[in-house]
Amino acid sequence: MRAKLINGKEMAENIKISLKKQISEFAYPPQLAIVMVGNDDASAVYVRNKQKAAAQIGMVSHFHHLDEDIREEEVIKIIQQLNEDSEVNGIIVQLPLPKHLNTHNIINSISPFKDVDGFHPINTGMLQNNQQPYFVAATPLGIMKMLNGIYSDLSGKSVTIIGASMIVGRPLATLLLNQGCTVSITHSQTKNIKQYTGTADIVISACGVANLVKQDWIKAGAVLIDVGINRTKEGKLCGDIDFEDVKDKAFAITPVPGGVGPMTVAMLLLNTVNAYILQRG
């Protein structure tokens, strides 16, 4: 069996086309504020991709590039100004932040109504309570769109997630649970992860370990979602799932690149359009 490719790039392009059309009918373009502290190379690439994608659909983005050694109070002050600026619909803070800054204090200072990354505790708490949050984190939201495209009903599916971060594993587990899945969340301290992945209908890996998941980790016909963005020793971009090794055993798989990454950017844009609608009525 040759696994079906889940084409995140194409799905994301289609979503962007419909967002562009929606924006063209708005009185004003939605505005996204992107706050980045310091000079992390990977973060700079992600920010550029987000700005480029925003421009493609007619959304305005403002880049607030702050000094590496800025004090926490100053970052929070800038976020409060953005909260109060009625022209700004969405605010994101590019993570990770430099070590001297407390990520929670900074995220918590974003208005939950402008929190288009969906990391504010009001939004994560609503999700946890199976209440509709204002915003859901972009990567998990994009993965749910992909899975909902494959399955008409996810209830009863067994899912194993590798990685329990605030931005991927945890919100994703809740979204899946809210749709009736039975979810195992594994992480760096889990013993024998294979025991969990080997029986799962769906395996989602978000741990950042290159080519960790091999064909003997999965059951035949499993759906595989690869969130990881890694480089091999030779410098080649790869996911957490060994694509070549699993491709004849899985039912469907997301490629890296061209899978979860483009959907994450599209979901950020979708959240920002929804923020505009929420604020302007």
CB of 257 to ligand NAD, least distance (A): 9
Question: How far is 20 from 27, CA to CA, in rounded Å?
Answer: 13
The answer to whether the CB of 136 falls within 8 A of the CB of 171 is yes
Size of the site for ligand NAD (CB under 6 A): 23
What DSSP state is assigned to residue 276?
H
The answer to whether the CB of 126 falls within 8 A of the CB of 140 is no
- Taking CB under 6 A as the criterion, the residue among 36, 207, 224, 267 binding ligand NAD is 207
User: Is 157 among the residues known to form the active site?
Assistant: no
Residues forming beta bridges with residue 224, ordered by sequence position = 203, 253
Question: How far is 262 from 129, CA to CA, in rounded Å?
Answer: 28
Find the part of the chain contacting ligand NAD (CB under 6 A) among 73-81, 128-136, 196-204, 223-231. 223-231
Question: How far is 229 from 43, CA to CA, in rounded Å?
Answer: 13
Measured CA distances, 253 to 40, 158, 169, 240, 247 (Å)? 30, 16, 18, 12, 8
Considering the rule CB under 6 A, would residue 268 count as an interface residue with ligand NAD?
A: no
Considering the rule CB under 6 A, would residue 11 count as an interface residue with ligand NAD?
A: no
User: Is 216 among the residues known to form the active site?
Assistant: no
Find the part of the chain contacting ligand NAD (CB under 6 A) among 86-94, 126-134, 166-174, 271-279. 166-174
Considering the rule CB under 6 A, would residue 264 count as an interface residue with ligand NAD?
A: yes
Find the part of the chain contacting ligand NAD (CB under 6 A) among 79-87, 152-160, 213-221, 260-268. 260-268
CB of 228 to ligand NAD, least distance (A): 4
Given the complex with ligand NAD, which of 150 and 278 has the nearer CB atom? 150
The answer to whether the CB of 154 falls within 8 A of the CB of 197 is no
CB of 207 to ligand NAD, least distance (A): 3
- Taking CB under 6 A as the criterion, the residue among 110, 261, 267, 270 binding ligand NAD is 261
Question: How far is 11 from 64, CA to CA, in rounded Å?
Answer: 29
Considering the rule CB under 6 A, would residue 188 count as an interface residue with ligand NAD?
A: yes
State both tokens at 281: 């009525």
Q: ∠ at Cα 55 (50, 57), nearest 5°?
A: 100
Considering the rule CB under 6 A, would residue 210 count as an interface residue with ligand NAD?
A: no
What DSSP state is assigned to residue 241?
B
- Contacts (CB under 6 A) with ligand NAD, residues 130-149: 139
Considering the rule CB under 6 A, would residue 167 count as an interface residue with ligand NAD?
A: yes
Considering the rule CB under 6 A, would residue 228 count as an interface residue with ligand NAD?
A: yes
Considering the rule CB under 6 A, would residue 92 count as an interface residue with ligand NAD?
A: no
Question: How far is 41 from 17, CA to CA, in rounded Å?
Answer: 29
User: Is 16 among the residues known to form the active site?
Assistant: no
The answer to whether the CB of 56 falls within 8 A of the CB of 16 is yes
**Chain contacts with ligand NAD (rule: CB under 6 A):** 139, 162-165, 167-169, 186-188, 193, 206-209, 227-230, 260-261, 264
Q: Catalytic residue numbers?
A: 50, 94, 117
